[in-house]
Each structure stands twice: as structure tokens, then as C-alpha cells.
Amino acid sequence: MFENTKLPEGMNPETLEHLMDPKNYGKLENPSCVGVAVDEKTGEYVIFYTQLEGDMIKDAKYATNGCQDTVVIGSMFSEMIIANNIDYAQGAIKKMHEKLGVMSQQQQVCADIVFSAFIASMINYEHKQEGKEEEMHVLKMKESCEGENIHE
């Protein structure tokens, strides 16, 4: 299902299109849940808005002050998961991680911050379902881009 996904290695026309016009960039007005992943060392963040209907992702948007790799990966990932269910999205993260293995360490960090923001939005959703009042869930990225890089 992800065989034709092109990641931003090299500058193919698809990557250029994501650069010139990132898909699903911005805010959702009434999201089901909101997640933020932040690198406290650099101040870079990704905020991810998800609109759910049951376990279906009806809509998703993201915003970031990060680099263009982050923008392109956010654009691609959000396109992949919209109109699919949460399990599919989790699988998309895994599949994209496998593909990202061939990319630079910096690009992997960019991907991780996008995925972490989505995961944070899912945690926010769970918390809301449990009746907790939480405007958004925040995950902090570790400084190092090696190994696990999420901790709450």
C-alpha cells in the first residue's frame, strides 16, 4: 500500500509540489484531538490536528516552524492517513520509518517529530475519552536523534 510513496530524497516533481503547496497545512477548526511534538533545544515543533469519526480519520492538518523536510513529510503523511483508520495510520508510520532508513539522520528526526505529533494527538484523544480535560497533548523530543526519541 505504500510502495509508490516517494520520500523527499532528491528533488522529484512530487516533492517539489509538496514544497510549493504543502497539503493539509494549517489548523482544523473543531478537531477531535490535538498533539504537539516539540524539540525544546531548538524550539522546533509540529502541531497535529486530527478529526475522528469512530476510528476513521476524517480530516487532519498540521503546522510547524521546522524545516522543509518536516513540511514535506507532514504533507505526505497527512495525505496518506486521511480517510483511513487509526490502525492504518500506525502502519503508515511503521512503513515510512522503514523507507526513511535510507535517509539522513536529520531527515529521520524531521519524520519523527511529525509522527510524534500525530501520536500525541491520539494520546490527547484517549485522554478526552477518559474524561480528562486536556487542550492538547505535548510530547518532548530528545536532543539526540538516535534510538527512541520520545518521552513525556
Partner 1 sequence: MNSLYKNKHELWLHITFASFAINDEEIKARLYEFSLIAFRHMKWLGADILKDGDDYNYDRDMKLFKRQSVFEVLHALMKEVNNTSALYPQSVLGKRMRTDDDYLLEYLSQILHNETNNKEVTAFNMKRKWLDKSLAQEQIDALTMFLFEESYKEYELILVYAYMQARTENVLEFSIFQDLIDESHFHLKSFGNMMAKMGILALPRELHAMTYVIKDLEKFVTDGIAEEKAAKEMCRELSDAIKDEELSKFFDFINYQESYHIELMKKLL
Residue with smaller CB distance to partner 1, 67 or 86? 67
Rule CB under 8 A: is residue 87 a binding residue for partner 1? no
Distance separating alpha carbons of residues 17 and 120, to the nearest angstrom: 27
Counting contacts by CB under 8 A, is residue 16 touching partner 1? yes
Which CB atom, from 41 or from 148, has the smaller least distance to partner 1? Answer: 41
With respect to partner 1, which residue has the nearer C-beta, 27 or 58? 27
Residue 64 cell numbers, joined: 510547524
Place of cell 487509526: 86
- One-letter amino acid at 96 equals M
| Helix 105-129, helix 86-100: angle, nearest 10 | 160
Question: Cα separations (Å) of 69 from 18, 28, 31, 49?
Answer: 10, 22, 25, 19
Site for partner 1 contains 13 (CB under 8 A): yes
x/- string (CB under 8 A) for partner 1, residues 42-61? xx-x-x--------------
Report the DSSP beta bridge partners of residue 33. Answer: 50
- Residues in binding contact with partner 1, number by CB under 8 A: 22
Identify the H or E element spanning 125: helix 105-129
Residue closer to partner 1 by CB (options 67, 103) is 67
In the bound complex, what is the minimum distance in angstroms from residue 51's beta carbon to partner 1?
17
Give the list of residues 6+ apart from residue 127 with CB closer than 8 angstroms, or none: 134, 137
Q: Return the number of the residue (65 or 129) whose C-beta is nearest partner 1.
A: 65
Binding site for partner 1 (CB under 8 A): 10-11, 13, 16, 19-22, 25-27, 36, 42-43, 45, 47, 63-65, 67-68, 71
